[in-house]
Amino acid sequence: MEYGTRQKICQLVAGIIIADDILDEKEEAFVDRLIKSFGIGDTGRDVIFPLVDRNEAAVQIKRLPQDAQDVALALMIDAACVDAQIAPEEREYLIAIASALGIPETELAKRVAERLGAASKNL
């Protein structure tokens, strides 16, 4: 995956994490692990700026290749669930992304429920 695509995915994931204006330690650690695993961590968190809101995220995710869209959505779901709860702002962000990708809310809800179940087991 190209550097620019990896960076864009990190920006989208960071956007959902800060959607509720709360950054807890699990969310912060998630972002740090993501940046490092994507190999773009040499410059710190600056690589995830500018952060994007849900409307801009819905536009930007459609510009990514299909495989990157799938990875981004899965990571956004993971990020939203990392603290074992979904804030209303995070839910709205996910709904905007799913809608942009043509994924029904029922399918999104299923994916989130599955991930929440796994996240609660890791607490």
Start-to-end CA distance of the chain, whole Å, equals: 31
pLDDT at 90: 93
Supply the pLDDT for residue 123.
41
| pLDDT score, position 122 | 47
Mean pLDDT of 61-73: 96
Name the strand (E) or helix (H) holding 78. Answer: helix 66-81
Q: What is the pLDDT of residues 25-59, one digit of tens each?
A: 998 899 889 988 888 866 567 777 777 888 999 99
State the chain's mean pLDDT as an integer: 88
Please report how many Cα atoms fall inside a 13 Å half-sphere around the Cα of residue 109, on the Cβ side.
Answer: 3
Cα–Cα distance between 87 and 103 in angstroms, integer? 20
User: What is the reported pLDDT for 58?
Assistant: 94
